[in-house]
Amino acid sequence: MEPANEHERAIAGAVDEMFLEDPGNRHHLTVRDIAMSLDFIIMSPSDSQFLVRYVGWRRTHLRVQGRTIS
């Protein structure tokens, strides 16, 4: 899943980092924590939708930056 803009790249990077730190984190906690950690003044609906979709995608594609998450 390729991010299409700078906000999506920031979201994907934050999700990837969280998965490296704690791959067993629950979906809703991951979404909440990522949303709170981003420096966006306002998260647009499309940013929020990308965040939810990317977290789901990351859970099914557990390779981050060339590393497999177990």
Q: What is the pLDDT of residue 67?
A: 58
Alpha helices in 1-70 (DSSP H): 6-21, 27-37, 45-60
Q: Which two tokens stand for residue 53?
A: 């979709």
Distance of CA 32 to the CA centre of its chain: 10
pLDDT at position 48 over 70: yes
pLDDT at position 3 over 90: yes
Q: What is the dihedral of CA 2, 11, 7, 54, to 10 degrees?
A: 40
Global pTM exceeds 0.75: no
Distance between CA atoms of 56 and 61, rounded to whole angstroms? 9
Q: Which two tokens stand for residue 38?
A: 């981003």
pLDDT at position 31 over 70: yes
Distance between CA atoms of 50 and 68, rounded to whole angstroms? 22
Map out the domains of the chain as residue ranges. 6-68
Q: Which residue has the higher pLDDT, 22 or 51?
A: 51
